[in-house]
Amino acid sequence: MGPYLSIDETALSKGELYTIITNKEAKGKKGSIVGIFSGTKVEPIIKQLMQVDRTLRLGVKEITLDMAHSMKQIAEKCFPKATQVTDRFHVQRLALDALQDLRIKHRWEALDQENEAIKNTRKLKKEYKPELLANGDTRKQLLARSRYLLYKAPKKWTPNQKQRAQILFAEYPDLKNAFEIVHELRSLYNSSRSKNTAYTKLAHWYLKVEQSGFKAFQTIVNTISANYRSILNYFERRSTNASAESFNAKIKAFRAQFRGVKKVEFFLFRLTQIFA
């Protein structure tokens, strides 16, 4: 048990979820695993953790987690003196998912339009020729191939991605507005150096979302509002759940090395021998 912990969930076998608490100071090596618990139900996990010496649990200063209410309950009950920090990447992922949902919606519309155009040209016994945009993409290709550029900041775009983004935003202004909202949230995390600054910028971001009229983003605002205290705690030490995600990746690599998990109990035994 160290002063800085992470709590996350991962699937070990057949999609069955396990809750894993890791010690950041071990840096993914021996002593990383504080506990592995079957499932995500709060009561059994709390019951097991409460068996750990109280002095050790009270020594935990900070715990990073996602926005799952169950994780917050576990942290609050078992590590009462620890500051809860919501992982920034979970917050950003919510906004990115909303942006990608909008792109996918336009893609389905483009597919429907193309299918309708093909049907009409067949009736007229003509050959269908799709409309090509300035970069040689059809409309549906433009929307499909824009997936990865929307995940990145504009300064990281390649020349081809810059051209594609320019065409995409000209054809779909709502995607441009949604992308700017997501990019502003990313910039907020990168540029804010204190909780007060971040709080002010977050308030301005809320206002921009409300003015945009995007329903999905309004849902994100409500989610962030419900977790804003732990979100703002990030700006104290800029702690993330990256160590937990990295440890999950190690588990997946370990699992792949042995071509899956045949017996969960033995797999867990192996993990604890190496990482606990």
pLDDT computed for residue 233 by the predictor: 93
- 228: its two tokens: 């804003």
Cβ atoms within 10 Å, residue 240: 18
DSSP string, 164-210: HHHHHHHH-HHHHHHHHHHHHHHHHHHH--SHHHHHHHHHHHHHHHH
Q: Is the pLDDT of residue 162 over 90?
A: yes
pLDDT at 258 over 80: no
pLDDT the model gives residue 173? 94
Measured CA distances, 40 to 36, 43, 265 (Å): 11, 9, 17
- Grouping H, G, I as helix, E, B as strand and the rest as coil, residue 152 is coil
Mean pLDDT throughout 181-186? 92
pLDDT at 12: 78
Q: What pLDDT does 168 receive?
A: 95
What residues contact 133, with CB distance under 8 A and at least 6 apart? 139, 142, 167, 171
Average pLDDT rounded to a whole number, residues 72-96: 93
Give 97-144 pLDDT, tens digit per residue.
999 999 999 999 999 999 999 999 888 888 888 888 999 999 999 999
Return the percent helix, strand and coil in the chain, to nearest 5. 65, 10, 25
- The 8-class DSSP code of residue 4 comes to E
CA angle 28/31/33 to nearest 5° reads 75
pTM score: 0.84
Q: What is the mean pLDDT of the chain?
A: 90
In the predicted structure, residue 181 carries a pLDDT above the cut 80: yes
How far apart are alpha carbons 261 and 268 in whole angstroms?
Answer: 10
Sequence-separated (6 or more) residues with CB below 8 Å from residue 142 = 133, 135, 164, 167, 168, 171
Taking only the tens place, the pLDDT of each residue in 189-221 is: 999 889 999 999 999 998 888 888 888 888 888
Give mean pLDDT, residues 234-239.
91
Q: Provide mean pLDDT across the span 51-76.
A: 93
Determine the Cα–Cα distance for residues 23 and 201; give it in Å rounded to an integer. 32
pLDDT band with cut points at 50, 70 and 90 for residue 243: confident
Instruction: With a cut of 90, say whether residue 72 has pLDDT above it.
Output: yes
Ordered by where they begin, the domains of the chain are 4-87+240-275 (3.30.420.10), 89-236 (no CATH)
Integer angstrom CA distances of residue 174 from 92, 253, 256:
19, 40, 41
What is the reported pLDDT for 155? 92
Position 75, amino acid: A
Which of the four pLDDT bands, split at 50, 70 and 90, describes residue 267?
Answer: confident
Structure tokens at 148: 């990865």
265: confidence class by pLDDT, cuts 50, 70, 90: confident
Question: Considering Cα of 185, then 188, then 190, then 194, what sign does the dihedral take?
Answer: negative
Instruction: Convert the pLDDT of each residue in 32-46 to its tens digit.
Output: 999 999 988 999 999
pLDDT exceeds 90 at position 74:
yes
pLDDT at 124: 85
Give the contacts of 131 (CB within 8 A, at least 6 positions apart): 138, 139
